[in-house]
Amino acid sequence: MALSVSIDSLLTNHQSQLGFVHHNGQSRPLGSNNILHLQKASKTPRSFSFLLSVQASEIKPHVAVQSKGRSSFAQTAAVKHLTGSVIRTQGLRFAVVVARFNEFITKQLLEGALGTFKNYSVQDEDIDVVWVPGSFEIGVVADRLGKSGKYHAILCIGAVIRGDTTHYDAVSNSAASGVLSAGLSSGVPCIFGVLTCDNLDQAINRAGGKSGNKGAEAALTAVS
Ligand SMILES: Nc1c(NC[C@H](O)[C@H](O)[C@H](O)CO)[nH]c(=O)[nH]c1=O
Ligand SMILES: CC(=O)[C@@H](O)COP(=O)(O)O
């Protein structure tokens, strides 16, 4: 029997995680064993509806479900936690994109990053450093490097320091969205190691000063 269920109701039923089925004016929770086949039926913005082939009514949690096609989902008794490892780094390859602008700061960030890679046993020959003029240019290069398929992560380093005009906002926002879209479009993690500071002191403190080294922290994120 084919029923339809809206994405809104899928999101509200926390208990079964599968939502409620509305049929013949009645509403009942949908259990995973009820579903034989889940198939997208239409794509209107607010009601993303699915065609569900529903089996007999009994609801039993913790039963794995598979759907045809690429996507499948399962409801299992154990919760899986997937985390990155910073231990097994052998064979990991990284690119570092670093901005020359405010080089006295970005050099320190780069030093911190390379130090972290070394501490976590990443080999020098597995790291390529690419210099760009300013933080504004980081995104396009990170995107290209990500799409090359040569690296497991791209670490992006820059230092944007506020001046008198609104230029700061343009550069820092562009750097952030450039790095974000590089990661999204390449599918390779692009790590944001760009300082966005109100003044030089803030930058110095974060480039090996009293607030640590944000380049080193970003490198650990890349490894993870
Ligand atoms: N002011 C800062 C810049 N500005 C330069 C731009 O990033 C860019 O290179 C230029 O606009 C040409 O496209 N870059 C920084 O990294 N930090 C700054 O504080
Ligand atoms: C990041 C910047 O905006 C800075 O270098 C530019 O300074 P200003 O706003 O004084 O031109």
Residues pairing with 154 in the sheet: 95, 190
Per-residue pLDDT tens over the stretch 70-125:
555 566 678 999 888 888 899 999 999 999 999 999 999 999 999 999 999 999 99
Pocket of ligand 1 contains residue 158 by CB under 6 Å: yes
- Quote ipTM for the complex: 0.96
Predicted TM-score (pTM) of the model is: 0.70
Per-residue pLDDT tens over the stretch 38-47:
333 333 333 3
Domains of the chain: 1-82 (no CATH), 94-223 (3.40.50.960)
pLDDT, position 26: 52
Please report, to the nearest 10 degrees, the dihedral formed by the alpha carbons of residues 116, 119, 125, 126 taken in order.
-60
Q: What percent of the chain has pLDDT over 70?
A: 66
Q: How far is the CA of 159 from the centre of ligand 1 (A)?
A: 9
Protein residue whose Cα sits closest to atom 14 of ligand 1: 134
| Mutational pocket test of ligand 2: of 100, 162, 196, 202, the residue with most ligand atoms within 8 Å of the beta carbon | 162
- The answer, yes or no, to whether residue 164 has pLDDT greater than 60, is yes
Q: How far is the CA of 168 from the centre of ligand 2 (A)?
A: 6
Residue bearing the bigger pLDDT, 185 or 73: 185
Residues ≥6 apart with Cβ < 8 Å to 1: 53, 54
